[in-house]
Structure 1
Amino acid sequence: MEIADDLLRGVKRISAFINEDERATYHKLSTGKLPGGKEGNQWIASKSVLREHYAALTRGKAA
């Protein structure tokens, strides 16, 4: 898999991927409750890391 295939760029795409409100997604990213980072002014996140984050939550272990 290419890195580009795993990346989500922008809060809009990240929130769509996790089926969450954009404002809530931004808040979680900016407070570190959701794994992601900024490249310039744009938030980026990895699909595989987000999947693991939510898998850990459902196992009862915070990522």
Structure 2
Amino acid sequence: MADTETKIDLIWEVEEIAKLIGRSPRQTFHMLQKGELPAKKVGGRWVAERNTLLAFFLETAA
């Protein structure tokens, strides 16, 4: 049986997202609030998928 399970690497909380994108937590929070980052609010906490977030920045840099 083939392994079709996909591993999703989630980043929880503004501080962790900020570390990944190289911004301050305050800058990141404002970007999240304005919908400028591919992330969602789940149960009052921000969450982003690592690969989606990285791909977003690679696309905007091109």
Q: Is TM-score (shorter-chain normalized) higher than 0.5?
A: yes
Aligned residue type for 1:54: F
- 1:2 matched to 2:10: no
Please show how residues 1-63 of structure 1 align to structure 2 within 5 Å.
Answer: 2-3=7-8, 6-59=9-62
Aligned alpha-carbon RMSD (Å): 1.0
Cα distance per residue 1:41-63 (max 9 Å; x no partner): 1000011111111011111xxxx
- Give the TM-score taking structure 2 as reference length: 0.85
Aligned length: 57
| More helix by percentage | 1
> 5+ residue gaps in structure 2?
1-5
Structure number with the bigger relative contact order (C-alpha 8 A, sep ≥ 6) is 2
**Percent sequence identity over matched residues?**
32
